[in-house]
Amino acid sequence: MEAYYAAEAGIENASLQLLRNPDYEGETIYLSPTSSVSISVSRSGFYEVLSTGKSGQFTRILQAKLDYTNNILSVISWKEVFQ
């Protein structure tokens, strides 16, 4: 569950960062010695955010598609990605 929550926090962080800076491309945030979240943002008509949460040996990946039009950020989709 920690890895999932880290990935979820990554999507939330990316949403806030995009509101402040539409050129935000992502980052890696270390939450503790054993957990982190890597965020990447790509653009293709909308923002696609891929957030990979890690806790110990567990990994969870979430993907969100966001639209930013007229200073309004809208969530188009939010799902877990299985590899």
Structure confidence by residue, pLDDT tens digits, 4-21: 999 999 999 999 999 999
Q: Phi, psi (5° rounding) for residue 78? A: -150, 115
pLDDT in tens, 25-80: 999 999 999 999 999 999 988 999 999 999 999 999 999 999 998 888 999 999 99
pLDDT at 1 over 90: yes
pLDDT at 83 over 90: no
2-81 carries CATH number 3.40.50.2000: no
CB 52 within 8 A of CB 3: no
Beta-carbon contacts of 64 under 8 Å, excluding residues fewer than 6 positions away, are: 11, 14, 15, 48, 49, 51, 75, 76, 77, 78, 79
Which helix (H) or strand (E) segment holds residue 52: the answer is strand 47-55
What are the domain boundaries of the chain?
A: 2-81
